[in-house]
Amino acid sequence: MGRGNPKAFEGVREATQFVAAGKESLNEKIELRITHQMKRDLKTLPNWQEKLREAIALLIELHKTED
């Protein structure tokens, strides 16, 4: 045994929840089709998931200023 998060079985919800650097929980998902090479390259980046979240936030912010 020894794998997994023991607190998840103790009913501690926070132990199983993803949390961003901010105060909001990361509980929403999106689906995006990309090439195999893009996925391979993306996953080689350190902390790639957080970097992708930052890129999405920047894209949203840039789009807001265009309107």
Confidence band for 55, pLDDT divided at 50, 70 and 90: very high
The answer to whether 39 touches 48, Cβ cutoff 8 Å, is: no
Q: In the chain, how many domains are there?
A: 1
Residue 1 lies in a domain: no
Nearest Cα neighbor of 22 from 47, 57, 48, 66 is 57
Say which residue, 38 or 11, is predicted with more confidence.
38
Residue 29, pLDDT > 90, answer yes
Q: What is the pLDDT of residue 23?
A: 78
Residue 42 inside a domain? The answer is yes
pTM for the complete prediction? 0.62
Q: What is the domain range of residue 11? A: 6-66
Question: What's the pLDDT score for residue 10?
Answer: 64
pLDDT at residue 20 tops 60: no
Q: How many CB atoms lie within 10 A of CB 50?
A: 13
